[in-house]
């Protein structure tokens, strides 16, 4: 049910993009308890000037490698699960691709279950 949109600076290798997608998916499985095989991701690269991320908001110093991860998912997960997800993604990206934890911006967008159609013009969760 989650849809992950991952936006990153242009110029990253296919292996880098694939690893980022794997880390996000793995964190969704372990921390957010999403079903296995429920993987829908959009990974998009952006040229300089088209991915605007404040370099120092809230005293967190971000580099030009900063990425944005937005996950749309069903509402209702507890705050501790969300925190575990944030940490799992930041730690996983640091370990797997060397991305600084400060360079991981995550936004969760919660929706009601009836707001999904996985095909056939049906609302499978409604």
List CB contacts of 24: < 8 A, sequence separation 6 or more: 4, 6, 41, 69, 71, 89
In a domain, 123, yes or no: no
pLDDT in tens, 41-87: 999 999 999 999 999 999 999 999 999 999 999 999 999 999 999 99
The reported pTM is: 0.93
Is 86 inside a domain boundary? yes
**CATH number, domain with residue 49:** 3.30.429.10
User: 3-class DSSP state for residue 55?
Assistant: coil
**pLDDT value, residue 113:** 85
Query: Does residue 120 fall inside a structural domain?
Result: no
Say if 121 falls within a structural domain.
no
Is residue 16 pLDDT above 90, yes or no? Answer: yes
Structural domain harbouring 26: 3-115
Based on the structure, what is the number of domains in the chain?
A: 1
94 located within any domain: yes
**Active-site annotation holds for 2:** yes
C-alpha 9/C-alpha 28 separation (Å) is 23
Give the bridge partners for 8, in sequence order: 45
């Amino acid at each position: 049910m989650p849809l992950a949109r991952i936006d990153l600076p242009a110029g990253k290798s296919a292996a880098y993009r694939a690893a980022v997608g794997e880390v996000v998916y793995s964190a969704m499985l372990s921390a957010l308890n999403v079903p296995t095989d429920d993987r829908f991701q959009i990974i998009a690269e952006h040229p300089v000037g088209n991915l605007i991320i404040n370099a120092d908001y809230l005293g967190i110093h971000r580099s030009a490698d900063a990425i944005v991860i937005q996950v749309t998912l069903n509402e209702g997960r507890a705050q501790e699960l969300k925190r575990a997800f944030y940490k799992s993604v930041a730690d996983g990206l640091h370990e797997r691709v060397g991305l600084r934890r400060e360079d991981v911006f995550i936004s969760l967008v919660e929706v009601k279950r009836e707001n999904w159609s996985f095909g056939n013009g049906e609302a499978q969760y409604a």
